[in-house]
């Protein structure tokens, strides 16, 4: 097989891996293609929920054709007995001759051992193929493993004059239905979504994924609400038993009522009004999210919240949606516009959704932890 064939199959594996992004719990969504004589004879993606892993599914599809074949895997195959036996053992037992890997696994139970075990068994291993692309696909998992916090994606929708809404107004439509559907697709890909109490109050949002068939992929919803002021009648609280809601704040009296409604309450130290505000409480919150298995977080609400995350230096990506209409004098200015982008972010791509545009920025360093 030529180097360009290797790239082509790895690119295909990376596209496949995106399929289950956001649906594999704490496990990364990994893809594996078994290729023999230039043909794909088996393929697998980490199953929703995280298991089985990609490799045994691909090997099962390939059957006897796996003997002497090449496995293209987006992440180093696992070497540990976890909830499933090591994928490395399965690859060896199936008689795979060569393994091509995009990204090595930072999980300390695996990290390098997967590759070493394959080589010890006489299998040729090539690593680092399309590594940067692989890191982008695995960004949530890698950020949680290495930085002990979720990958943070800041999403803002701004009017043509750089406003995110109208003062003392409910939801203002800034973008059209095509862009909105794209935002829902993004929601399906992340583990959690966060807004502030101001947005919860003004917009009464649901924050679920409402694309057909993807409701189950809705992210866990977080509201920063120091004094637990969220209304028990809000859509968020009323739907808490269907899609999880966590309110971050502290008030002994309100806590019980929220918990009775099925809401989880996190009194993160430093975010509580009773504790002096720590240097940066957002770091504590993100650490707690990572410990709870959250690998990716979309921050969707409020100019103040957006500014706080940017100030804390924890934003990895910015998705800026821009509508064609102006809001004018009573608008709430966005902390981020195309003309006013925080330093250190570069435009990665732009898309057109009907009358709207979407600009994707990524942090120049640190977004793809190494």
Give which of ligand AOF, Zn ion, none residue 107 binds (C-beta under 5 to 8 Å, depending on kind).
Answer: ligand AOF
Sheet of 70-75, strands arranged across: 39-45, 31-36, 70-75, 98-103, 124-127
> Residues 47-86: x/- map of binding to Zn ion (CB under 5 A)?
------x------------------------x--------
Report if residue 66 touches ligand AOF, rule: CB under 6 A: no
Minimum distance of ligand AOF from residue 111's CB (angstroms): 8
Decide if 311 is catalytic: no
Nearest in space to 150 (alpha carbons), one of 6, 356, 333, 288: 288
Q: Which stretch binds ligand AOF (CB under 6 A): 61-69, 70-78, 288-296, 360-368?
A: 70-78
Alpha-carbon span 201 to 308, nearest angstrom: 19
**Contact between 298 and Zn ion (CB under 5 A)?**
no
Nearer to ligand AOF, 84 or 239 (CB): 84
C-alpha 162/C-alpha 164 separation (Å) is 7
The yes or no reply on residue 191 touching ligand AOF (CB under 6 A) is no
Considering only CA atoms, give the Rg of the chain.
Answer: 22
- When CB distances are held under 5 to 8 angstroms depending on the partner's kind, the choice from Zn ion, ligand AOF, none that residue 83 binds is ligand AOF
Residue 358 binding result from ligand AOF, Zn ion, none, given CB thresholds of 5 to 8 Å by partner type:
none
Buried b (16+ CB within 10 A) or exposed e, 105-137: bbbeebeebbbebbeeeebebebebbbebbbbb
Q: Measure the CA angle with vertex 206, ends 29 and 222; round to 5°.
A: 60
Within positions 24 to 53, which residues make up the interface with Zn ion, using CB under 5 A?
53
> Contact between 113 and Zn ion (CB under 5 A)?
no
What is the SS3 assignment for 103? strand
Please report whether residue 54 would count as binding ligand AOF according to CB under 6 A.
yes
In the complex, least distance from residue 102 CB atom to ligand AOF, rounded to whole angstroms: 12
Which residues on adjacent β-strands are paired with residue 317? 153, 362
Minimum distance from CB of 163 to Zn ion (Å)? 48
Contact assessment for residue 35 and residue 72, using Cβ atoms and an 8 Å cutoff: yes
From 46, 56, 50, 52, select the one nearest 18 (Cα to Cα). Answer: 46
Catalytically active residues, by annotation: 55
Residues that bind ligand AOF (CB under 6 A): 27-28, 30, 46, 50-51, 53-55, 75, 77-78, 82-84, 87, 105, 107, 110
């Amino acid at each position: 097989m030529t180097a360009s064939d290797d790239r082509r199959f790895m690119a295909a594996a990376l596209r496949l891996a995106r399929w289950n992004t956001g649906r594999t719990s704490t496990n990364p969504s990994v893809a594996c293609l078994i290729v023999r004589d230039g043909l794909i004879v088996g393929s697998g993606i980490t199953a929703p929920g995280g298991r089985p892993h990609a490799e045994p599914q691909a090997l099962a599809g390939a059957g006897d054709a796996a003997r002497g074949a090449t496995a293209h895997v987006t992440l180093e195959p696992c070497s540990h007995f976890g909830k499933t036996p090591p994928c490395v053992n399965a690859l060896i037992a199936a008689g795979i001759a060569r393994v091509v890997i995009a990204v090595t696994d930072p999980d300390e139970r695996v990290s390098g051992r997967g590759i070493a075990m394959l080589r010890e068994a006489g299998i040729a291993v090539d690593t680092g193929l399309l590594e940067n692309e692989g890191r982008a696909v695995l960004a949530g998992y890698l950020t949680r493993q290495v930085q002990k916090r979720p990958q943070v994606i800041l999403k803002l929708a701004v009017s043509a004059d750089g406003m995110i809404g109208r003062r003392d107004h409910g939801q203002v439509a800034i973008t059209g239905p095509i862009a909105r559907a794209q935002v829902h697709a993004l929601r399906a890909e992340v583990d959690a979504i966060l807004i502030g109490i101001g947005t919860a109050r003004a917009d009464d949002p649901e924050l679920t994924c409402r694309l057909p068939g993807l409701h189950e992929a809705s992210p866990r919803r977080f509201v920063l609400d120091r004094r637990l002021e969220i209304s028990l009648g809000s859509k968020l609280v009323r739907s808490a038993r269907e899609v999880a809601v966590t309110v971050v704040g502290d008030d002994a009296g309100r806590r019980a009522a929220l918990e009775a409604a099925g809401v989880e309450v996190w009194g993160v130290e430093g975010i509580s009004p009773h504790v002096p505000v720590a240097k940066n409480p957002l770091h504590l919150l993100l650490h707690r999210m990572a410990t709870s298995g959250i690998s990716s977080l979309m921050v969707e609400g409020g100019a103040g919240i957006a500014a706080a995350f940017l100030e804390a230096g924890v934003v990895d990506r910015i998705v800026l949606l821009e509508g064609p209409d102006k809001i004018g004098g009573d608008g709430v200015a966005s902390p981020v516009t195309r003309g006013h982008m925080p330093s250190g972010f570069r435009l990665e791509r732009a898309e057109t959704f009907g009358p709207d545009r979407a600009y994707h920025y990524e942090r120049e360093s640190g977004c793809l932890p190494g």
